[in-house]
């Protein structure tokens, strides 16, 4: 059994959700499960390149993905107007 600890920071009228996880493993697990269920999910982790992070954030800002899953380390300094 996997126990997930996360905080939903904001749920806005446009249903944008930002989830923070303590570990990359938990963040990756949830992103994979939600993607398998057909949800558009953005995953931001320390394992991806700077260029990939920029692309993930741009897709989230544009509303292509309504759910951003990240670790608290990667969440520092994220500038998204809706959040």
83: in domain = no
Max avg pLDDT among 4-18, 41-55, 66-80: 41-55
Domains contained in the chain, number = 1
48: in domain = yes
CATH of the domain at 20: 3.40.50.300
80: in domain = no
14: in domain = yes
Q: In a 3-state reduction of DSSP, which class is residue 48?
A: coil
23: in domain = yes
Contacts of residue 41, Cβ cutoff 8 Å, sequence gap at least 6: 31, 34, 35, 65, 67, 68, 69
18: in domain = yes
This prediction has a pTM of 0.70
Tell me which residue range forms the domain holding 48.
6-71
54: in domain = yes
Mean pLDDT in residue range 55-76? 82
């Amino acid at each position: 059994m996997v126990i997930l600890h996360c905080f939903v920071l904001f749920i806005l009228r446009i249903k944008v959700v930002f989830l923070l996880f303590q570990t990359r493993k938990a963040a990756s697990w949830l992103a994979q499960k939600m993607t398998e269920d057909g949800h558009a999910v953005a995953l931001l982790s320390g394992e991806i390149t700077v260029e990939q992070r920029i692309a993930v954030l741009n897709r989230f800002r544009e509303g292509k993905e309504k759910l951003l899953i990240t670790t608290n380390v990667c969440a520092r300094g994220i500038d998204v107007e809706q959040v």
